[in-house]
Structures are given as structure tokens and as C-alpha cells.
Chains A and B, each alone.
Chain A
Amino acid sequence: MANTQNPDMTPGLVNAYEPGEHPDWPAPSSVKGPVHWIKTNLFGSVTNTLLTLLTIYLLYKIIPAMVDWMFIDAAYTGTSRKDCEAQAGGACWAFIGTRLQLFIYGFYPEAERWRVNLTAILLFVALAPVLYDNVPHRGKALIFTVLYPLIAGVLLVGGIFGLEYVATDQFGGLMLNVIIGVTGIAFSLPIGICLALGRQSHLPVLRIVCIAFIEFIRGVPLITLLFVAAVMLSYFVPPGTNFDLLVRMLIMVTLFASGYMAEVIRGGLQAIPKGQYEAADSMGLKYWQSMRLIVLPQALKIAIPGIVNTFIALYKDTTLVIVIGRLDILGIGRSSLADSKWQGLSTEVYVFVAIFFFISCFLMSRYSLYLEKKLHTGH
């Protein structure tokens, strides 16, 4: 605190008075209260005061207008844009309301949507043992987690066990974002670990191959890889074979994420002191044993914030599938603007999707902070 200093402060004087009682001294910094707080935090100096006034002016300009548009002047019911405009001059949320199902399920057949719901519920069941340690029967639950992608695939696509077949081009909306995000992260983690270990390997050939792969992936934008998936990948499979665009997309997204994952994990590996490797060697552990039992658990713990960040980035990047014509939640929003009844409402759609992404990504980043604190066992 700048204003607690006093030029003639001497030890004798300090003892002569109770704290805060000396007549010439300003109140000690422990004095609290709204006025004191405002003084130090908002009007501490000239620049500070200017900054405060500027911020208040900005807020005054932005907040009322935004609240007006979003809530007060907004229309919540109606069946067309005209209905909304007849009611109020602000946002037309009725549009979002009527399309909510489409935003979530895309073009998935209405009668089969329980399968999507079930898959979503099972996702949380599968995630629970990963996210929390104190889940009962954690070991068995983790087996379910490993099997989950297979179960989800069968449930969503169907075609066996009496489930009706649903073509993957009917997948869309939020479920598409979640499918791509979850698949990307689930498969990129093991691939990323292998790449990171390969990059640190003593074997030159392995090392060069891994470095080349990682640098290539990180050097090109995801949408070019999606283009490759859409137009080029089918050239590389034997003539006559044809595999699904969604699968091709998932492969590319997974490879993309694993390039970034590898670098995050490499950071974790580099943070492990050399002594840990040496200790593992001196115990007579083989390479994979020492990695599995000693190095990787520590490295992954360090890398957790980075892993969650990679996942958030990947989840946001799932919106890019619209450039190859797949309609995720953003794509559905954009395509429904073509409806003549609702034309020109793009701002509402984008604001809605933005708020949705903000909430989900923000929660994930909070979770990573919580995890970081929980796992912080250092000194």
C-alpha cells in the first residue's frame, strides 16, 4: 500500500501508539470499507480515475443497449419474423425456440432420438470414473469407459440388434459437435502419448518420423485437413472401397488433435526430472514399465491443463465441419436462415450459439482449474 509510508517512522513511535492511533498517520491498510476500497481500486491515481471514467462510459453505452435488445425488447413467441417484429424491436428468440430440436439433433429421425439421448446419458456414465476418483467400482467403470465409443457408435448408427439404421449424413446439430469432439479427444490421447514418446526416443528413425508428423499437422489449418478428408482421402483406399465421410472426418480430426496432444504431453515429459528416469532404470524396470509406472503418470498430471485446453480448442474447432457441408449446431443455425419466414435473423442465431459455446467451454476451463488445484501436490 503506497500511502502507509511515513517519513519519520521510528521503532519507538510504533510502540507508543496502538495500531492506527497515531495522529499523523493514515489509517493502517487493514482499514476496510466500501469508501476505502473505491478510493484505492478505482480512483487511486489520475490514470486510474481516467480509466474508471472511461470504463463507466463504455459500460453505459453498451450494457443498456444490449439488455434492451436481448431481453426487454425481445420477442419470445411467434411463428415468423413478422410476428416478432409486430411484438418488439429487439431480438426474436421465438426463432431459436421453434428450432431447438433441430439445433440439438440435426436431421436425426424424430422417432429414433431417444437413442441420441441414451448415448448422451451413457457419455456421462463413461466420463464419471475419469473425472472423479471416488466413483464406486472405479476399475470396472473404466472398462465401460473404454468400451463406450463402440457402444455409442452402435447406438447412433444402428443397423444391428433391431436398431433401425440411420445414415451418418443425417447426424447434425449439437450431437455432431459432441461426437467429433469426444472421438477426437478419446483417440488422440493415446496416439498423442505414443507420438510424444516417439519424439523423445533415442532411435533416430522413430524420432524423425514423429517430428515430421507433428510438425506437418501443426503447420496446416484444420480446414485444409477436412478438405483432404472430403476430396482426397478416398483416392488412397483401394479402388471400389468407399468409406463414410463422417469416418474420414473423424480420422482427420483425431490426427489433428493428436499432433497438438503430443506437444502438450511432451511438455509434461520434459518437466519430469532426469532423476525419475534414472531411478526407474536403477530399479531394473524396462522401458515400458518405467513409462507406465513412473514417468507417464507424473507427466500426464502436469499436462492436464494443456490437455483440457486442447480439448476446448478441438470442441470449438468442430464448428469447422460446415466448410465441407456438414451441419453442426452453427451450420444448422446458418442453414435455417434460408427459411423465408425467418430471413435476416442471423444475429440471433450467432448470439445463441455463441452463448452456448461460451457456457460449455467456460465450464470446462473451470474444471481444468479445479483439477489443477486438486492435483497440485508439489511444494
Chain B
Amino acid sequence: MTTTVDQGSATAQGEPNVLLKLWRNKETRSVIIQIVTMALLFAFFAYIINNAVLNLQALGKTFSFDFLQEPASYDINQTLIEYTSRSTHARAMLVGILNTALVAFCGVILATVLGFVLGVIRLSNNWLASRIVYVFIEFTRNVPVLLHILLIHGIMVHFLPLPKQAISVGDALFLSNRGVYAPRPEFLDGFGFTVAAFGIAVIAAVIFRRWARKVQEETGKIYPVFLICTGVIIGLPLIVFLISGSPLVWELPKMGRFNLQGGVMMLPEFLALWLALSFYTSAFIAEIVRSGIMAINKGQWEAAGALGIRRNRVLQLVIIPQALRVIIPPLASQYLNLTKNSSLAIAIGYMDIVATIGGITLMQTGKEMETMIIVLLIYLSFSLVISAFMNWYNKRIALVER
């Protein structure tokens, strides 16, 4: 310890050490902590990457994504795009991504509809209905989602009859333990007019809705927007469809020699996953909707009532717009959960992204690192896209403050 370095304050405290002095200062301390954190982090990553390199060398493996261009040579039972066993692993990965997206998309829609209905019934003053929904919600969300999937799949496979004795609904829909068969639409020439009419109707409805909102804001006059829009969107294509000579036939599933043939087939795996994810998530959404509506001050109901607005209108104009602000953020995380839970497909053999690239491709090629990295990145991008969209929507409906 030399007296030359010591400043007055340091000697007063009897702490002549330079490092300690730096540590005592708030700014320098924060810089030190951050540098140390960075150093530790880099050291950690360097260590595990070094280990990985050594381990891969010892096993004679390389780290490359070349295997994606090799033929996959396995079959996938449900594909949205063309795929054969000679397609590449990259193609199999794409099939898996689409299957995940399909079940997540269908699940989100059904779960939202079901969740809103259940949430509203839960709040209704009908004691019986609200109790039943309460029991359903409590049971559903306190049981693991994997169990829901296995249970619904098990019931489908064990309780539905063989394709030969399939239960038919109006000779169009067939339920069997190999899948549900629905009629497939076959489009003839001239169906394009109907599609065009539908597009025009949608655009017209959007324009009308904007105009109606403007009128409402300026004069307070409210048009029955929902009814008119629905009427236009259904009516216009229907008229065009009939005028152009009904250019659509339905291909009905028929009993073949061993199995049902024709029509659209939905695998029991897809249905079980879809229904289970939707039921499970709808229980959570119902509670979110309930708490959202309950979060709106009773005074809002009373104030609207005092203005002489009818109950339905109050709900539509006053309560729901405010409740949505409370509902949207947790709803977004439920959508994320549903998408992530769809990865449980692997338990019943639905070929989603985990089952294709993270399952069979991994087993066949032995590329654990590469395939797992791909799967993790895909899920991360799914999550980012969903939360970006929900954030955008949340911002749009958020309360505009001073």
C-alpha cells in the first residue's frame, strides 16, 4: 500500500485498494458487473460449444444441415401439400409445420368461440347453466392436456365403430374409428363467378361498415351492420351461384370394399388433438372472458341504462369494447399455449413438426443437434408471429389516453 495512490476519502475509510474503490462507486460498479456477466456468459457458451465439438468429433459426426436435401423415405399420414416418401427431409419439415399450423389455427378458432360462449353463460343469471359451466371449466382445466388428448383419442378409437359399420349422419357424414368422412366439394366451371361475388361482397361489407361507423360517430344513428353484412356476404354469392347454374357438386363418401372411399377424411388423431386442445383452452378463455366482463365497473351498466339503452346494446357498445382491453393480453398467451401444446401430437401419432423433423428425421439421420435447433427455432417464430399479431391488435383497441 502506497500513500501516493490514496485520495483523501479513501484514506478516511481506510480502504486504499483501487478495485474496492471502483466497486464502491455506483457507475463503475455497474460497468464491472456487466463486464463480468458478459465474460461469464461467453465463457459458458465457449465451454459448451467446445464440448459439443469434441463430442461430435468423438462420435465421428459433423454439424451440417445437408441432410435436409436428402430423401426422407418415410410416409406421413396427413399432408396438406404434395408429399411422397421420396420427398426431401426439408419437404417433410414443411409438411410438419403446416400440420402444426393447421391444428393450431383450427384450435384457436374453436377455443375462442367456445370460450366466449362458456364465459358468458357462466355470468348469466341462470343458476343451473352457470353451475354446469363452472363444473366443466373446473374439471377441464385441472386435468393435464395430454390426458384430454389421450382420452378423446381413446374414446374415438375404441367406441366408434369400424369403417364398415360407420355411423352415418344423413348419408353424408360418416363416423368411424379410422376417421371422420365428410363430403368433398367438387368445383365445376363457372364457380369462379361465385368466388368473385364473395370477394366483392366482403369488400362491400367492409366499406359499408366503415361508412356506418362514420355515420354513427357523426349522428349517432346505428345501422344493423351485422345483419346487413351477413346478408350481403351470404346473399350475393348465393344469387350468383344460382344464376351461374349451381356449378358445385359434393362428392359423398361411399362404402368401398374394405373402407370408406371418397370425400374428405379427417384422421381421428387430428380430431382428437383439435377437440382436446380446444376444450382445454376454452376453459381458460372462459375464465378470462368472465373476469374481463366482471372487471367493468357496474356504474357503466347503470350509466348506459340511465341513458335508456337496451341491455344488448349496452353489452355491444359499452361493456365489450372495454372488456376486450382486459381480455386481449391473457387471450394472446392462451393462443400461444395452445400452439405450444399442439406439440403433444406426438403422443397420439399426429404428424406435426415435432413428429416429422424432431421425431422420425432425427431417428433416421441421427442429427440431434441440427433437428432440435430447427424445431426450437420454428416454435420460437410461431410464438413471435402470434404475439406480434396480438400486440398489434391490443394496441389498436387500447385505451387512448392523454
A residues engaging B (CB < 8 A)?
40-42, 44, 48, 51-52, 54-56, 58-59, 202-206, 209, 216, 218-224, 227-228, 231-232, 234-239, 312, 316-317, 319-320, 322-323, 330, 334, 344, 346-347, 350-351, 353-354, 357-358, 361-362, 365
**Set of chain B residues within 8 Å of A44, measured between Cβ atoms:** 125-126
| Interface: B139 (CB within 8 A) | yes
Output the residue of B55, B128, B145, B155 with the most chain A CB within 10 A: B128
Q: Which of B5-13, B198-206, B253-261, B377-385 contacts A (4 or more CB under 8 A)?
A: B377-385
| Contact of A236 with B126 at beta-carbon distance under 8 Å, contacts A220-B379, A357-B143 already known | no
Q: Is the CB of B369 within 8 A of A350?
A: no
Q: Is the CB of B126 within 8 A of A347?
A: no
Q: Is the CB of B37 within 8 A of A42?
A: no
| Interface: B234 (CB within 8 A) | no
| Contact of A350 with B154 at beta-carbon distance under 8 Å, contacts A42-B127, A231-B372, A358-B143 already known | yes
Q: Which of B127, B144, B145, B368 contacts A235 (CB 8 A)?
A: B368
| Interface: B124 (CB within 8 A) | yes
Q: Is the CB of A361 within 8 A of B142?
A: yes
Complex Cα gap A216–B52 (Å): 21
Q: Is the CB of B144 within 8 A of A330?
A: yes
Complex Cα gap A235–B48 (Å): 8
Q: Which of A59, A317, A351 contacts B144 (CB 8 A)?
A: A317
- Give me 15 other A-B pairs in contact (C-beta within 8 A), A216-B380, A236-B51 excluded: A41-B127, A51-B128, A55-B129, A203-B34, A209-B41, A218-B383, A220-B383, A221-B341, A223-B354, A224-B354, A227-B372, A232-B368, A235-B51, A239-B58, A347-B159
| Contact of A316 with B383 at beta-carbon distance under 8 Å, contacts A220-B340, A235-B51, A347-B158 already known | no
| Contact of A51 with B129 at beta-carbon distance under 8 Å, contacts A228-B372, A334-B150 already known | yes
* A-B contacts, 26 listed (Cβ < 8 Å): A41-B125, A44-B126, A54-B129, A55-B126, A55-B132, A205-B38, A206-B34, A206-B37, A209-B37, A222-B340, A223-B344, A227-B354, A231-B372, A235-B51, A322-B347, A323-B346, A323-B347, A330-B144, A346-B158, A347-B151, A350-B151, A353-B147, A354-B151, A358-B142, A361-B143, A362-B142
**Set of chain A residues within 8 Å of B346, measured between Cβ atoms:** 223, 323
> How many residues of B sit at the interface, in one of the four size bands?
35 or more
Complex Cα gap A54–B369 (Å): 54
| Interface: B18 (CB within 8 A) | no
Decide if the interface of chain A is mainly helix, strand, loop or mixed: helix
**Set of chain B residues within 8 Å of A353, measured between Cβ atoms:** 147
Complex Cα gap A228–B154 (Å): 28
| Interface: B68 (CB within 8 A) | no
- For residue B355, give the distance in angstroms from its CB to the closest CB of chain A: 10
Q: Is the CB of A319 within 8 A of B380?
A: no
- For residue A376, give the distance in angstroms from its CB to the closest CB of chain B: 17
Complex Cα gap A228–B340 (Å): 16
Q: Is the CB of B33 within 8 A of A206?
A: yes
Within 8 A of A (CB), among B333-386: 336, 340-341, 343-344, 346-347, 354, 358, 362, 368-369, 372, 375-376, 379-380, 383-384
Q: Is the CB of A320 within 8 A of B52?
A: no
**Set of chain B residues within 8 Å of A330, measured between Cβ atoms:** 144, 146-147, 150
**Set of chain B residues within 8 Å of A223, measured between Cβ atoms:** 343-344, 346, 354
**Set of chain B residues within 8 Å of A317, measured between Cβ atoms:** 144
**Set of chain A residues within 8 Å of B358, measured between Cβ atoms:** 224, 227
Complex Cα gap A54–B121 (Å): 13
- For residue A361, give the distance in angstroms from its CB to the closest CB of chain B: 4
State the 4 A-B residue pairs at the shortest beta-carbon distance, nearest first: A361-B142, A219-B383, A221-B340, A205-B34
Q: Which of A40, A203, A224, A312 contacts B33 (CB 8 A)?
A: A203
Q: Is the CB of B129 within 8 A of A224?
A: no
Complex Cα gap A206–B41 (Å): 11
Q: Is the CB of A316 within 8 A of B143?
A: yes
**Set of chain B residues within 8 Å of A231, measured between Cβ atoms:** 362, 368, 372
Complex Cα gap A224–B34 (Å): 31
**Set of chain A residues within 8 Å of B132, measured between Cβ atoms:** 55, 58-59
**Set of chain A residues within 8 Å of B34, measured between Cβ atoms:** 203-206
Output the residue of B58, B347, B379 with the most chain A CB within 10 A: B347
**Set of chain A residues within 8 Å of B336, measured between Cβ atoms:** 218-219
Q: Which residue of B lies closest to A364 (CB)?
A: B142
| Contact of A48 with B158 at beta-carbon distance under 8 Å, contacts A319-B146, A330-B147 already known | no
| Interface: B302 (CB within 8 A) | no
Q: Is the CB of A221 within 8 A of B343?
A: yes
Task: Please encode chain B, from 114 to 136, with 1 for each CB lying within 8 Å of some chain A CB and 0 for all others.
Answer: 00000001001111110010000
Q: Which residue of A lies closest to B45 (CB)?
A: A236
